Every structure is written in structure tokens, then in C-alpha cells.
Amino acid sequence: MQIDLTEEQRQVRDLCREFAEAELRPNARRWDVEHTFPRDAVRKLADMGLLGVAVPSEWGGAGMDAVTYAVAMEEISRGCAGTGVIMSVNNSLYCDPVLKYGTEEQKRELLAPFARGEKLGAFALTEPMSGSDAAEMRTVAVARGDEYVLDGTKNFITNGPQADAILVFAVTDRAKAHRGITAFLVPTDVAGFSRGKPDEKVGIRASGSCSIFFEGCALPKRLRLGQEGEGFKIAMSTLDGGRIGIAAQALGIARAAYEEAVAYAKERHSFGKKIAEHQAIQFMLADMATELEAARLLVWRAAAMKDRGGRHTAESAMAKLYASEMAERVTSKAIQIHGGYGYVKEYDVERHWRDSRITEIYEGTSEIQRLVISASVLKD
């Protein structure tokens, strides 16, 4: 496995790092406090090609690979974790499956403007009564002439408040269980679609999420993605890619907290010396640095496997599991190193800790990642 980045990947990393330093870090605290969607920053991400990183240029994307995407996600999330997830959902959970399963017509209408970042996409799998057990969904799509009629509710939909189209999963044949689930591309201006008020969240508050509702929502059949009954596999294979993005987001959040902890440890004094000179602090920093590097290797490995093609389900789950739990440990240690100042909003480490927490929950909880990994271990 190649461990070094290519020249092009380094250039993208540096560009994203500069952008995050100049445009995201200075604003992230305000977006968190005000719970605001960073519209201008998202427009700039679009100008940089970061909303369709791995989409070929003929469909409006930047035509880069999954490793570059992971590197970019780390840098953007280091600047603002909420902005990171806005980018991640549009790239991995919306553009990726439309590219992979869409018809030419769907790609023209429902991929290119999203990969260019003129429009924003979302992904709706979770429901009020089914999250981890995704196949238990209750939303239905009933075929009627040239249309499907959707009824049901989806919960916690990231980019939901802003999305122009949403990839939605619904049951078309209950008797077939997960093989009776179908995917649809739903433009949000269609009749019978509505959104709830934005969720009030603990972290990643620059990103918006909400419930969405379908009441007799009639969709032309040309908006079905893939074949009838193929929806669950589309959802699962999409999450194999998405989990790399969230793992990279966790890595970015952890790195921000780690860098701030290093700087603080060199400034703050106790017992006549810098706290960085106490071995207890040095050991925490050593553990944080080691875990960050380990997580990055897992993320890059999963991304490199995605680039090579073929299945990378367990590798993505390992990257997401380790990076998200690592981020919670590292951000918590960063608070510890800041002492009382870490617990108040004067410093950013408390936000990093709040932001890290969701990475252990969405795109499959840590428990679900362990199920996916153990299934692969036992099969092998």
C-alpha cells in the first residue's frame, strides 16, 4: 500500500488547509453558537471542486480519487466539522450513488449541478422507528401508473433543511424484506414533500438536519435510482464510501484539538514550568499523536481500497470505528490539558469534543461498525 501522498494530493491538501485556516477556523465558533449554515463557505467549497471531488469532470466534478477526498475531508473538518459533514453528505451519500447507479438522464439533471455545488444533496435512510436496523423502514412507495407515491417520515436528515434533492429509500414490496426496498431521487420542490424544523444539536451545529415528510408524494418513475428492490444494497454500498468520509471528519476534528492542546501545553505554566514539561502531559500528547497517525493509516487504506475498486466494507467500518472513538478520546484529553479553560467556551476544545461525539453515532453507530467488522472476521 502506498503511504505517501502524490504531488496532486499534497496540493489539494495544502489548498484545503489554507482555505480552512482562512475561511473556516475564524468562523467556526460563531456558526456553532448561532447554529448557522455556512452558505458562503459552502459556495467557496463548490468553487474549489470540493462538492464533487471524485465525480468525473464530464459530470461536473473534480475527477479526483477517494484518497484525495479523505485528505480534503480531514482538512475541511479540522477547520469546521459542521462544514465537513455538509461536504461529506453531498459527495459520498448523494453524488457517489447517483454516479454509480444513475442513468445518463439522471446524471445530467441530478448529478452534474450537485457535483458542481450549484445544488445540494442529502441521503434519507433513517426513520423514527428504524436507525441501526435500517431494513425495518416504514416509508412506502406504491407504484401507480407512471408514478410511485411515497408516504412516510425520515429523521435526522443532514442537509435536509437546504437540500435541492434527496436520495430516499422506501419499501416497494414488504413481503421481500430488505430485497423489497427501492431508492428514489426526490427533488425537494415536488408536491407532497415537506420538512420539519431544524434539529437542535449538541455539535456540528454549522450543519443542518431535520425530519422530512412524504404525504401522497407522487414521483415520476424516471426518478427511481437503480432497479426495484435494489435500494438496500445501494444504501449499504453507499455507506461503505460514506464511512470513509466520516472517519476523515473525525480525524480532522481530533487533529484540531490535538494541535490546540500542544500549543496550550507550551504556553501554560504550573509548579514553575510549562505544563508541557510535566510527564503526565507529555504522555497524553504522545498517545494523542500516535492514535491520530493510526487512524489516518486506516482511513487512507480504506480510501485506497475504494480507489482500487471491489468491496471495502470491513476496512471502511474499521476506519470509521477507530477514527471516531479516537476523536472522542483525543478531544477529551485536549480538554484535560486545558484544565478548567477547556471546559468553557473561551477555547475551542469543548466544541471539538461536542463535534466528535456524533461521529460515533451517524453513518452507523460504533456498535454497528463492530457488527459489520465481526461479520467479516467470522466469514473469513
The minimum distance between CB 317 and ligand CAA, in angstroms, equals 9
Task: Enumerate the β-bridge partners of residue 140.
Answer: 151, 171
- Binding ligand CAA (rule: CB under 6 A), the pick from 83, 155, 158, 188 is 158
Query: Inter-axis angle of helices 66-79 and 279-308, to 10 degrees?
Result: 140
Chain CA centroid to CA 165, Å:
17
Q: Does 142 interact with ligand CAA (rule: CB under 6 A)?
A: no
Q: Is 291 a catalytic residue?
A: no
Q: Does 132 interact with ligand FAD (rule: CB under 6 A)?
A: yes
Q: Does 370 interact with ligand CAA (rule: CB under 6 A)?
A: no
The minimum distance between CB 262 and ligand CAA, in angstroms, equals 29
Within 13 Å, how many C-alpha atoms sit on residue 228's CB side? Answer: 13
Backbone angles phi, psi at 353, to 5 degrees: -65, -45
Q: Does 130 interact with ligand CAA (rule: CB under 6 A)?
A: no
- Binding ligand CAA (rule: CB under 6 A), the pick from 48, 236, 285, 289 is 236
Q: Which partner, ligand FAD, ligand CAA, none, binds residue 157 by CB below 5 to 8 Å per kind?
A: ligand FAD
Whole-angstrom Cα distance, residue 185 to residue 252? 30
Query: Could you tell me if 184 and 221 are in contact, meaning their C-beta atoms sit under 8 angstroms apart?
Result: no
Whole-angstrom Cα distance, residue 153 to residue 28? 31
Of 19 and 353, the one with the shorter C-beta distance to ligand FAD is 353
Q: Does 201 interact with ligand FAD (rule: CB under 6 A)?
A: yes
Nearest partner of 156 among 374, 368, 372, 365, judged by Cα: 365
Amino acid occupying residue 266:
K
Q: What is the enclosing helix (H) or strand (E) of 190?
A: none
Q: Which partner, ligand FAD, ligand CAA, none, binds residue 124 by CB below 5 to 8 Å per kind?
A: ligand FAD
Q: Which stretch binds ligand CAA (CB under 6 A): 31-39, 52-60, 102-110, 231-239?
A: 231-239
The minimum distance between CB 122 and ligand CAA, in angstroms, equals 9
- Torsion 83-85-87-90 (CA) sign: negative
Which grid cell is 244? 470513509
Q: Does 132 interact with ligand CAA (rule: CB under 6 A)?
A: yes
The minimum distance between CB 128 and ligand FAD, in angstroms, equals 8
Q: Which stretch binds ligand FAD (CB under 6 A): 122-130, 170-178, 253-261, 319-327?
A: 122-130
Query: Could you tell me if 168 and 227 are in contact, meaning their C-beta atoms sit under 8 angstroms apart?
Result: no
Query: Could you tell me if 123 and 93 are in contact, meaning their C-beta atoms sit under 8 angstroms apart?
Result: yes
Of 52 and 131, the one with the shorter C-beta distance to ligand FAD is 131
The minimum distance between CB 158 and ligand CAA, in angstroms, equals 4
Region of residue 49 (left: phi > 0; alpha: psi -120 to 50; beta: else): left
Of 94 and 214, the one with the shorter C-beta distance to ligand CAA is 94
Pairing of strands 121-124, 273-274: unpaired
Task: Enumerate the β-bridge partners of residue 143.
Answer: 148
Count the site residues for ligand FAD by CB under 6 A: 22
Q: Does 123 interact with ligand CAA (rule: CB under 6 A)?
A: yes
Q: State the CB neighbour count (10 A cutoff) for residue 142.
A: 14
Q: Does 89 interact with ligand CAA (rule: CB under 6 A)?
A: yes
Nearest partner of 132 among 321, 374, 361, judged by Cα: 361
- CA–CA distances in Å: residue 256 to residues 17, 49, 184, 340, 366: 12, 23, 37, 19, 22
Which grid cell is 360? 460515533
Q: Which partner, ligand CAA, ligand FAD, none, binds residue 121 by CB below 5 to 8 Å per kind?
A: none
Q: Which partner, ligand FAD, ligand CAA, none, binds residue 237 by CB below 5 to 8 Å per kind?
A: ligand CAA
Q: Does 135 interact with ligand CAA (rule: CB under 6 A)?
A: yes
Task: Enumerate the β-bridge partners of residue 270.
Answer: 273
The minimum distance between CB 327 and ligand CAA, in angstroms, equals 15
Q: Which residues are catalytic?
A: 363
Tell me which residues touch ligand CAA (CB under 6 A).
85, 89, 93, 123, 125-126, 132, 134-135, 158, 178-179, 232-233, 236-237, 239-240, 313, 362-364, 368, 371-372
Tell me which residues touch ligand FAD (CB under 6 A).
89, 122-126, 131-132, 156-158, 201, 209, 358, 361-365, 367-368, 371
